[in-house]
Structure 1
Amino acid sequence: MAAGAFRRTAIERSDQRVAWERADQAFFAAGACHILAWVCRESYPERSIEVAAVRVAGDRQIFHVYAVWDGWTFDHSGWNREVDLLTVNAEFEGRPLERVGITVDLAGFCAEHHHRLPDRYWADPLPRARGYVDRHTPPWA
């Protein structure tokens, strides 16, 4: 499912508690996808999981972040092929997208792209993200 289907409302953008109270899939699709991607990578240190993002072609602003391993992605929809993630998001947005490899750490990404660090959420999103990762069976299992 496209990340854009879960975009935050005006109240969810202005009130961290309201945003926090959304269902896990909505929370990790829009507003905390970057947290989920880094937690996924940290959850499997024996795998060479990278972090990538998508943006509308030609735009600077990233709108969705996900983990990638061997052609598979992990985001709010669980494990899916990267081509499928890119296709569903491009179709939803109705515009071509660009994949962006992320080479900085979480703090650097947040500073560069104006995303929240874990301590800027209403509550700590790290345990919630770890639980979400644990509920999805990776493709190598």
Structure 2
Amino acid sequence: MYRPSAHFRRTAEERRDQLLSWNREDTAFFAAGACHILAFAFLETYPEAGFRAMGLWPRGERDPGHVYVTDGTWAFDHGGWTRPGELLAVTRAAEPAADLRPQAINAGLDTFCACHRHRPRQRFAFDPWSRALRYIARFPPPSGEP
């Protein structure tokens, strides 16, 4: 079953200390704190697969709380392959007060980070891009039926 990103929320100390944040296991790291890196690394890895970046915006907020990719049939994030409806339903159930709304992200990673208070690649303790590529490689590539 899908575990929403809220399940892996960083502590205040992990938010302050990038090394502590970095040292979490991959699923937690890409669920909370580096979901945007994983999404954009996925898009670069599979540019012709028909996926797009999506954010889940809490009502009234200017920044998304979670970023993932979807082709409308499948979604990919820290949990690997999930149906988009399940990802949204489970995430909303975990944070009902947030009234989360999915919205396409139509910017590149650097612009997205600058506009939405997400940490750019160079501000992580180490290289999150190569870590994301290794994580993506653990899952079967997009083919219609992951």
Post-superposition offset of 1:124 = 0.3
Alignment of 1:93-132 (within 5 A): 93-95=95-97, 96-132=99-135
Corresponding residue for residue 59 of structure 2: 57
Corresponding residue for residue 36 of structure 1: 38
Determine if contact 1:51/1:65 at 8 Å carries over to the other structure: yes
Give the match's secondary structure for 2:15.
helix
Q: Deviations over 1:51-91 (max 9, x none)?
A: 00102233323100001123211100001111111001000
Q: Deviations over 1:27-73 (max 9, x none)?
A: 00000000000001111122121000102233323100001123211
The normalised TM-score by structure 1 is 0.95
- Aligned equivalent of 1:90, options 86, 89, 92: 92
Paired residue total? 141
- My pick for the range that moved more, 50-59 or 21-30, is 50-59
The one-letter code matched in structure 2 to 1:115 is H
> Deviation above 4 Å: which 4+ runs of structure 1?
none
CA–CA separation in structure 2 for the residues paired with 1:70 and 1:61: 22
Structure 2: runs of 5 or more not aligned: none
CA–CA separation in structure 2 for the residues paired with 1:31 and 1:46: 26
CA–CA separation in structure 1 for the residues paired with 2:130 and 2:57: 27
- My pick for the range that moved more, 62-71 or 99-108, is 62-71
Post-superposition offset of 1:139 = 4.6
Post-superposition offset of 1:110 = 0.2
Determine if contact 1:19/1:27 at 8 Å carries over to the other structure: yes
The one-letter code matched in structure 1 to 2:69 is A
Structure showing the higher strand proportion among its residues: 1
The one-letter code matched in structure 2 to 1:54 is L
RMSD: 1.2
Structure 1: runs of 5 or more not aligned: none
